[in-house]
A and B are shown apart, each in its own frame.
Chain A
Amino acid sequence: MSYEPSNNMNRLNQLFATKGNNLLSIYYTAGYPELNSTLDIAEALEKAGVDFLEIGFPYSDPVADGPTIQNSSQQALDSGMTLKVLFEQLKDLRKRISIPILLMGYVNPIMQYGVERFCKQAAEVGVDGVIVPDLPIYEYETIYAKYFKGNNLSNIFLITPQTSPDRISKIDDLSNSFIYLLSSSSITGGSLNVSDSIEAYYTRVKAMNLKNPTIIGFGISDNATFTKACQYANGAIVGSKFVKLLEEDNYLEKIPAFVQSIRPIY
Chain B
Amino acid sequence: MKYGVNEQGYYGDFGGAYVPEMLYPNVEELRQQYLTILNDPDFKAEFNQLLKDYVGRPSPLYYAKRYSEKYGANIFLKREDLNHTGSHKINNAIGQILLAQRLGKKRIIAETGAGQHGVATATVCALKGIECVVYMGEVDMERQAPNVARMKMLGAKVVPAMSGSRTLKDATNEALRDWIANPVDTHYIIGSVVGPYPYPDMVARFQSIISFETKKQLFEHTGKELPEYVMACVGGGSNAMGMFYHFLDDESVRLIAVEAAGKGVNSGHSAATTFLGKEGVLHGSRTILMQTEDGQVVEPYSISAGLDYPGIGPQHAHLYKIKRAEYASVTDDEALQAGLLCCQLEGIIPAIESAHALAQLEKMKFKKDDNVVICLSGRGDKDLNTYIKYFNY
Contact = CB atoms under 8 A, between A and B. Distances in A.
B297 A61 contact: yes
B6 to A, nearest CB: 12
Contact of B22 (A64, A67, A106): A64
Nearest to B299: A60
Nearest to B279: A111
A135 B21 contact: no
A180 B297 CA distance: 27
Contacts of B297: 60-61, 108
B21 A59 contact: no
Interface string B156-192: 0000000110000110010011001101100000000
B280 interface: yes
A133 B169 CA distance: 19
B348 to A, nearest CB: 37
Interface size class of A (residues with CB under 8 A): 35 or more
Which has the most chain A C-beta neighbours within 10 Å: B17, B22, B173?
B22
Given A74-B164, A108-B291, A108-B295, A133 B21 contact: yes
A113 B294 CA distance: 7
A114 B164 CA distance: 25
B340 interface: no
A108 B282 contact: yes
A134 B22 contact: no
Interface string B353-379: 000000000000000000000000000
B176 A163 contact: no
A260 B291 CA distance: 41
A256 interface: no
A159 B291 contact: no
Interface in A86-112: 106-112
A159 B181 CA distance: 14
A174 interface: no
A163 B25 contact: yes
Given A108-B280, A112-B295, A187 B177 contact: yes
A158 interface: yes
Contact of B295 (A66, A109, A138, A163): A109
B130 to A, nearest CB: 21
A62 B296 CA distance: 10
B278 interface: yes
B250 interface: no
A20 B281 CA distance: 37
Interface string B278-292: 111111100000010
Nearest to B19: A134
Contacts of A113: 294-295
Interface string B260-304: 000000000000000000111111100000010111110000000
A162 B25 contact: yes
Contact of A160 (B17, B21, B278, B291): B21
Given A112-B291, A185-B183, A157 B282 contact: no
5 contacts: A64-B20, A108-B282, A108-B291, A134-B20, A163-B24
Interface of A: 59-64, 66-67, 70, 74, 77, 82-84, 106-113, 133-136, 138-139, 157-160, 162-164, 167, 182, 185-187
Interface of B: 8, 16-22, 24-25, 163-164, 169-170, 173, 176-177, 180-181, 183-184, 278-284, 291, 293-297
